[in-house]
Amino acid sequence: MNKLFLLFLTMTLISSCQNSENTNENKNATIAKFSIVIHGGAGGIERSNFTEAQETAYKQQLEISLNAGYKILEDGGSAINAVQAAIVILEDSPLFNAGKGAVFNSEGLQEMDASIMNGYTLNTGAVAGINHVKNPILAANKVLDSSKHVLLSGKGAEILVKKYGIQMVPSSYFYTDKRFQQLQKILGKNKISKDHSALLQVQPLIDDHKYGTVGAVAYDKSGSIAAGTSTGGMTNKKYGRIGDSPIIGAGTYANNTTCGISSTGTGEYFIRTVAAHEVSSILKYTKSSPKKALQEVIFNQIAPLGGKGGMILIDKNASVFWDFNTKGMFRGYKKSTGETVIELFEKTAYPKNKIIK
C-alpha cells in the first residue's frame, strides 16, 4: 500500500514538473513575439501626387527605419530603444517633417516637438519648440531619463540635452528648399483668404502635402510597449505654437496594459480630444477592439470637430493596427513572424465615404 502510494506520488511529481516546463516553454514562446509599427505622417497622400521614384524613395526610407527598430527588438533590445532608432532614421531624412525635413513656421523658422513614452514604467519625456538638436527624439528621451520633468521647451530643453551630450547643430542644418517653398506657397494663399476663421486656418495646412510627422510604436520580447513621435509641426504655424506631438496622451501614449500609440494630423484636434489616451481608455474600460477604438476616436471624435490625421497602435498582444481619415498615411510594420507591410496611399478596403477630402 505504502509502495503504491509512493509510486503515485513520484508519478504526480514528474508529471507536474513536465507540465510546468511546458508552461514555461509556452510562456517564453508567447513573450518572445515582438513588433514595430511606424508612420511618416498623414494627409493628401495620393498616388497621383507621386512619381514612381518618389514612391520608391518613401518606401525605402520607411523600410530602413522599420529594419533599424526591428533589429533592436530581434536582438532582445527594449521597445524604447527600437522606437528611438526608427525615429532617428526618419528625422535624418529630408523626406519627412521631422528633424532634417521640418516645416517652417509663419516667421520662417523651424521649431520642432517630440515625445517618447515607456509603457512599462509610464515614464515620459518631451521637448517642444527646439531648433538646435539634430534628433529631437533623442532630446525627448534625455528628458525622460535624465530629468524629473516630462516636458521642456525651447532654450531650457536645449541647455539640458546639450549637457548630456546630445548632438547639437546650427538651425541652418534643418533648412530644405522644399519646405521653404511650401511656406512661400501657403503665405501667398493666406494673403487671399483673409476671412478664414482661426480654426479653418489650421485646416489647409495639412491638405497641401505638409505631412511628414514621424512616429513609432514597438513591442519588445519582454512584453513592453513604447511609443514616440517627432515633428516640425505644421507649415505656417504661429511662432511658439506647440502641437500634439509632444503632448502625452494626445500625440503619444504607451501603457503595457492597453496599447502604445503615435498620432499624426492637425494637432489641435488631437489635443482637444486627448486622442491617444482616449483610445487607450476605450481599450481599458470597454470590450472594444483596437480597430473599433481607433475608428471611434478618429471618425466620431476628431473628424466631427474638423480634424484630420491618423494613428498607429500596438496592443498588449503585440498586434498592430492603424487608421486615418485622410487620403493616405506613410506607414509600415514588421512583426516577429517576418510579416512586413509598407503602404502610402488610401486603404483599399476602407469605405470611401469616410475619407475626408
Q: Which residues bind ligand ASP (CB under 6 A)?
A: 41, 206, 211, 213, 231, 233-234, 243-245, 264-265, 267
Which are the contacts of 174, defined by CB distance < 8 A and separation ≥ 6?
A: 99, 100, 102, 110, 112, 131, 232
Nearer to ligand ASP, 129 or 233 (CB): 233
d(CA 103, CA 86): 20
Active site residue 213: yes
- Partners of 340 in the beta sheet? 334
For ligand ASP, give the closer residue by CB, 206 or 227: 206
**Cell numbers for 355:** 475619407
CA-closest candidate to residue 99, choices 214, 239, 209: 214
The β-bridge relationship of strands 35-43 and 328-335 is antiparallel
Closer CB to ligand ASP, 267 or 290, in the complex: 267
Minimum distance, C-beta of residue 214 to ligand ASP, in the bound complex (Å): 9
Q: Residue 125 has what DSSP assignment?
A: E
Q: Name the active-site residue from 213, 231, 266, 326.
A: 213
CB of residue 25 to ligand ASP, shortest distance in Å:
43
Residue 69 vs 310, nearer CB to ligand ASP: 310
- The least CB distance from residue 26 to ligand ASP, in Å, is 40
Chain-centroid distance, C-alpha 163: 27
278 contacts 297 by C-beta, under 8 angstroms:
yes
Comparison of 213 and 280: residue with beta carbon closer to ligand ASP: 213
CB of 231 to ligand ASP, least distance (A): 5
| Per-residue exposure over 280-308, b if at least 16 CB sit within 10 Å of its own CB, e if not | bbbbeeeeeebebbbbbbbbebbbeeebb
Helix axes 79-92, 52-74, angle to 10 degrees: 150
Least distance to ligand ASP, CB of residue 173, Å: 20
Q: Which residues are catalytic?
A: 213
